Amino acid sequence: MGVLLDGAATPPPSISGSTLTFTMGALGEGPHVLAGQLEDASGTRAPFRVAVTIESTPGADRPPVELSARVAADSTLVAPGSLASVTLPPAAWPSQPSADDFVVLRIDLAPPPPSVGPGLLPGTHLVDVNAFWGLAGTAVTEFEAPIDIVIPNPSGEVVLPSTSQTGASWRTLPRLAGPSLPAGQSDGYYRDATGSIHILTRHLTYFSLLRDNEAPSPPRHIAGVVLEGDGLTIRWIPGSDSSEQLGNVILYVNGEDYRLFGPTEFEAKLGLFSPNDPRIFTLAQYDAAGNLSGPTRPLRAVPPLAGRSLTQASAALTSAGFSVGGVREEARVPCTPPAR
């Protein structure tokens, strides 16, 4: 009773046992919704809502799809072309406005705006996942437990799963240690065995996979250690990257490539070394996408200064490539041994 197709009344259905057949005629491209109430012989009524999307020729702007979720089991909605999906578990349901109301999930694969287009992973879209109450019509934006949004990444390219309130400015999602979202954390992502990105979130906004075009930070805490018989060892701590996926560290000697070190290597042995060694050492960090950081500050030998005047010491430091700051010259006070 009271059945509407896209908001307009439909002819009464034909009934055969438990099957109702509606004559709806030809449906155009895009989403359509058939909704109303079912009534059994005892007069008990229950609402229903069926959504269907017609797409004959896929284009850049794929039509949205909808699904009426079930409170007793996981509900999964798959976007056209399997370009994204969302799963709503029973534990995530917020408080219902009424006992009969139900959550409607909706995925709209939107083409990216020009500001995002160059950074979007090829073959992906802006994934607009939203939800609303089927009867009350009000939006559902927060959930009691994480929902799971899956975006395939068949190319295996390093990406930055990101979220945005507007589709213009983006925030990179934090990477999770596994397929669960810690209590108190609003969102995050992990990769499954196929490389697909799982975004676990307690809120709904735009989501996308952006190319990792951001350079990592350079290695830090650089230290050169010289030990007799062992020579010079340079140690470092790797830089950081927004993708949390680091690549090799490259060591330059006098500005020329010397050697690549893996992500779990943190030192380089350079052999014999003297205070007059003219070599200059710098390091840079790659991330997994191949972006390269800027170089670290140069590491070089400090020339011998003991016994030299201030002028001589300043000249030696400048000649070795150091800049000399403010210096205060004081007379050396001899040390008097304690009386016995």
In CATH, the number for domain 220-313 is 2.60.40.10
List residues bridging with 197 in a β-sheet.
151, 191
CA atoms within 13 A on the CB side of 67: 18
User: Measured between alpha carbons, how far is 14 from 226 in angstroms, rounded to an integer?
Assistant: 91
Q: Parse the chain into domains and list their residue ranges.
A: 55-211, 220-313
If DSSP codes are grouped into helix, strand and coil, which group holds residue 316?
helix
The partner residues of 235 in beta bridges, in order of sequence, read 223, 267
Give the three-class secondary structure for 36.
Answer: strand
How many angstroms separate the CA atoms of 104 and 302, rounded? 69
pLDDT tens for the 340 residues of the chain, in order: 678 888 888 888 888 887 888 887 788 888 999 888 887 778 788 888 889 999 888 877 788 999 999 888 999 999 988 989 999 999 999 999 998 899 999 999 876 655 554 455 655 677 889 999 999 999 999 999 999 999 988 777 778 888 888 777 778 888 888 899 999 899 999 989 888 999 999 999 888 887 777 788 999 999 988 887 788 999 999 999 877 778 899 999 999 999 999 989 999 999 888 878 889 999 999 987 788 999 999 998 877 777 777 777 777 777 767 777 777 777 766 666 666 6
- Tokens matching residue 314: 């300043």
Q: Residue 339 burial (CB < 10 Å; 0-12/13-18/19+)?
A: exposed
User: What's the residue count for the chain?
Assistant: 340
DSSP code string of 121-172: PTT--EEEEEEEETTT--EE-EEEEEEEEEE--TT---EEEEEESSSSS-EE
CATH class of 55-211: mainly beta
